[in-house]
Copies of this chain bind each other. A is one copy, B any other.
Amino acid sequence: MARSPNDTRRPLTLRDVSEASGVSEMTVSRVLRNRGDVSETTRERVLEAARRLGYVPNKIAGALASQRVNLVGVIIPSFSNLVFPEVLSGISSALEDTGLQPVVGVTDYSPEKEERVLYEMLSWRPSGVIIAGLEHSVNARAMLENAGVPVVEIMDVDGEGVDAVVGISHRRAGRHMAEAIIAAGYRRIGFLGTKMPEDHRARKRLEGFNEGLAAAGISLVDTEFYSGGSALSKGREMTEAMLARSPDLDFLYYSNDMIGAGGLLYCLEKGFDVPGQLGLAGFNGVELLDGLPCKLATMDACRREIGRKAAQIVARRASGAAGEAEDQIVELQPVIQLGDTIRTL
């Protein structure tokens, strides 16, 4: 690991190891990659020299020569929304022993930035791309189509994918939640969620929710949207505002668990009869809910699982397995957890 005293700060090359060990560059390369037959003695000599010098191979040169890159581009909207770190965690763990490494890019929910990040990533010729959502700019879509590597669009299956797709149907999720709420006898329902110009999944959930209500001949009584700030306290504020405006509501559907949890805490404090007089539900199934005084109804969005599956698809395809056709679309089924905030008749 130590560097020689006459240290020039020039990064070490294969040649340095070759000279230090008296073995050709080619054989050094073979040893370092565990490829081809090398005698045990040469092997040891090379490894010893490499270790002693503190040689770190240059993957840039390696990638250029071999046309192989062990990087998987992952493009997500944000780190702030708890959901995406969880997806990354799933990707990261599934990639663990594949020799592949995730490289993360963030779009901040901006299609322009998504385009830039994607371009940037593709310029590193990754072994695959995992990207959140099905909605992309025309250019971004064209890049994905021509990337020449596996592309997995994640989180959402409601739409047309470029290649493989792993996610849930947010439209159906919304619809199912509506059905569960109606089945429980609630009728005067309010919706609280994010402003969603670019949050297509939240939008689809709301659309599905509205469809579910419409099928039962009812429609939303009130809606409230927010952006920015602490979701928990936003949930409180919005709930207070909505109940002040529409005191006769008997159900509040939140577009995510954090604002739902805020609303729940507010309702409990105010002494509302939950779930008798007022029912509540969120979305995502965040672990956080387990610690609340009473469990918010929610739906698991299968975040880690989506990450894992997507990474597996990339890994399999990258390893040369064919199967381009089999796993085009993987739809996971989120399950409603009634918790303590939807009454059972």
Contact = CB atoms under 8 A, between A and B. Distances in A.
A287 B142 contact: no
A123 interface: yes
Interface string A244-271: 0000000000000010011001000100
A122 B12 CA distance: 12
B148 A11 contact: yes
B57 A232 contact: no
Contacts of A258: 288
Interface of A: 1-3, 9, 11, 54, 56-61, 63-64, 69, 78-80, 82, 84-86, 88-89, 92, 101-106, 119-120, 122-125, 138-139, 142-143, 146, 148, 230-236, 258, 261-262, 265, 269, 287-288, 290-293
Chain copies in the assembled complex: 2
Contact of A56 (B79, B102, B119, B232): B119
B125 A58 contact: yes
Contacts of A82: 82, 85
Q: Would you list the 10 A-B pairs with minimal beta carbon distance, nearest first?
A: A232-B291, A1-B142, A233-B291, A79-B85, A230-B290, A59-B123, A233-B290, A230-B287, A262-B291, A79-B89
A230 B86 contact: no
B261 A291 contact: yes
A15 to B, nearest CB: 15
Contacts of A232: 287-288, 290-292
Contacts of A291: 230-236, 261-262, 265
B287 A139 contact: no
A196 B1 CA distance: 29
